[in-house]
Amino acid sequence: MTLDWGNVRGVGSWSRSFWNLLKVRKERFLQKDLYRSLYKYSRKRAKRFDKRTGLLSAGVPSLVMLFVATAAGVVVIDRQFEIRDLRVRSIGQRELSLQEEHDRMVKFLNESEKEIKTGEALQFKQLPKEAKV
């Protein structure tokens, strides 16, 4: 640790300036050196670890790709299941509406058949309003 003695002036204020200078410089150097040394140490250890295992240069990108592929696959499969469910619902609704229309037409034909068997005069009849043509 080096100290800058250029700011020290005069003999009388030397001791005061020295301690003030030492205090400020010491705090600044300790703070800078602490972060710098921690950064250098962690970088050195990371490089050494990567050189031995290859996990940082090959493993981390592989892990990222794995997570991205998994997320994309989940989204695609979820969308396919959603589309399949909507298709089944729409087919079910269509079948239900066709069945209702079939039932109405059968009921109308049965009533017409009864009228013919009883001998009533055939008349033009309108389809029920519920029936779709």
Q: What percent of the chain has pLDDT over 90?
A: 29
The pLDDT tens digits of the residues spanning 49-67 come to 999 988 888 888 999 999 9
pTM here? 0.43
Whether the Cβ atoms of residue 20 and residue 3 lie closer than 8 Å to each other: no
Q: What does the alpha-carbon distance between residue 84 and residue 13 come to, in Å, rounded to a whole number?
A: 87
Give the closest residue to 99 by CA, choosing from 76, 107, 126: 107
Q: What percent of the chain has pLDDT over 70?
A: 65
Whether the Cβ atoms of residue 100 and residue 124 lie closer than 8 Å to each other: no
The pLDDT tens digits of the residues spanning 77-94 come to 999 999 999 998 888 888
Pinpoint the alpha helices (H) of the chain.
Answer: 14-53, 60-118
Per DSSP, 126 falls in state: P
